[in-house]
Structure 1
């Protein structure tokens, strides 16, 4: 009876350890994939919003989030 209890608890501990390793390993892999696939972001000179560089508009090494802000230039808005 004592050997059966020992084997039972060893199986429970081994299963919990395997499950814990599986969960932590898959979370780390997903985080690395997300970071490596992230697009570079730039800040709009007019409003300060961060947008993906692929979607931003550039003039004289300054980035803008929209055509309207590009036309307004890099003057700060009056709020």
Structure 2
């Protein structure tokens, strides 16, 4: 009787292993597609706090760059 139970357990384990191994190609998991990376941007330093921000996002006042309108308005030296 114990051999019959052992055989049944082995048969179930084999069936599960076999079904997991033979997945169709469309059901196999694929790594996510990675799009093209953006080009690197030049960074500038905020004249008030020293934070580095992309040049395209920086606020300019004269020759100086700022990270936000509050720092641009607070800086009295420009």
If the length of structure 2 is used for normalisation, what is the TM-score?
Answer: 0.48
Q: Which has the higher contact order (CA 8 A, sep 6+)?
A: 1
If the length of structure 1 is used for normalisation, what is the TM-score?
Answer: 0.47
Q: Tell me which protein shows more helix as a share of its residues.
A: 1
Larger radius of gyration: 2
